[in-house]
A and B are shown apart, each in its own frame.
Chain A
Amino acid sequence: DGGITQSPKYLFRKEGQNVTLSCEQNLNHDAMYWYRQDPGQGLRLIYYSQIVNDFQKGDIAEGYSVSREKKESFPLTVTSAQKNPTAFYLCASKSAAGGYVQYEQFFGPGTRLTVL
């Protein structure tokens, strides 16, 4: 089955700890994205990557970091600098980056992060 997997589904973290959320896709997609979803706020873009070894900040990148060492993987680290990290985090991927705007993004099941 092709798709996007995110792990873990639920994650609890103590204040002051960094935590890494996993995102893997086997769709052979070039572009990958991380969003944060809060009630009543829609989806806000944290980081995106259009090609391996390259990534760009989205609208709310402060307190987050990413890497893109492999095409199929795009992990997100929520650092202790993120002031309000409790949220639902969604990973997405897309067949091609900027040149093929008609392709839609496919989403993973999400990780719910709670900071205690």
Chain B
Amino acid sequence: AQSVSQHNHHVILSEAASLELGCNYSYGGTVNLFWYVQYPGQHLQLLLKYFSEDPLVKGIKGFEAEFIKSKFSFNLRKPSVQWSDTAEYFCAVNEGYGGSQGNLIFGKGTKLSVKP
């Protein structure tokens, strides 16, 4: 079965610091990858997604992610975080085969706290 690993449970940064959140997946075939964000009290929403195009994907609010196939990784980055980026971030991979194709496998999430 596929799995998604997020390396950090809780990350604490000061405003203007750079961010990189790690995500590794286990599936060796064609994958579609997603980063979702859950701001306090809000819906889970899509930050960005990767679908077999440029491995560097740009998302909303200045976030980007790089797909490195050889490392099975899809790390999320932002050059300079703001207090409003405080949220929980989830990496997810699409099941790529069979009847459950289209289902998402989520990592356990990384909580980001940004100190003003």
- Chain A positions within 8 Å of B, measured between CB atoms, are 31, 33, 35, 40-45, 48, 50, 56, 58, 90, 92, 94, 96-105, 107-110
Give the top 5 A-B pairs by smallest Cβ distance, nearest first.
Answer: A98-B101, A42-B108, A107-B44, A43-B106, A42-B106
For chain B, residues 69 to 91, give those with C-beta under 8 angstroms from any C-beta of chain A. Answer: 90
Contact B108 A41 (CB under 8 A): yes
Determine, out of B13-21, B45-53, B60-68, the stretch whose residues face the partner at the interface. B45-53
Residues of B within 8 Å of A56, CB to CB, are: 99-100
Residues of A within 8 Å of B9, CB to CB, are: 40
Total B residues in contact with A, Cβ cutoff 8 Å: 25
- Chain B positions within 8 Å of A, measured between CB atoms, are 6, 9, 32, 34, 36, 42-46, 49, 51, 90, 94, 96, 99-104, 106-109
Residues of B within 8 Å of A41, CB to CB, are: 108
Contact B102 A109 (CB under 8 A): no
Interface residues of chain B: helix, strand, loop or mixed (majority): loop
Contact A107 B43 (CB under 8 A): yes
CB of B78 to closest CB in A, whole Å: 20
Residues of A within 8 Å of B34, CB to CB, are: 104
Give A102 to B49 CA distance when docked, in angstroms.
8
Give A56 to B51 CA distance when docked, in angstroms.
26
Give A48 to B42 CA distance when docked, in angstroms.
23
CB of A10 to closest CB in B, whole Å: 13
Give A17 to B7 CA distance when docked, in angstroms.
38
With A104-B49, A107-B43: A94-B102 Cβ-Cβ less than 8 Å: yes
CB of A60 to closest CB in B, whole Å: 13
Give A82 to B107 CA distance when docked, in angstroms.
23
Residues of B within 8 Å of A98, CB to CB, are: 99-102
Residues of B within 8 Å of A50, CB to CB, are: 102
Give A108 to B109 CA distance when docked, in angstroms.
18
15 extra A-B contacts, CB within 8 A, seeds A40-B109, A109-B42 = A33-B103, A42-B6, A43-B104, A44-B106, A48-B103, A50-B102, A58-B103, A92-B44, A98-B102, A100-B102, A101-B94, A101-B102, A104-B46, A107-B36, A110-B43
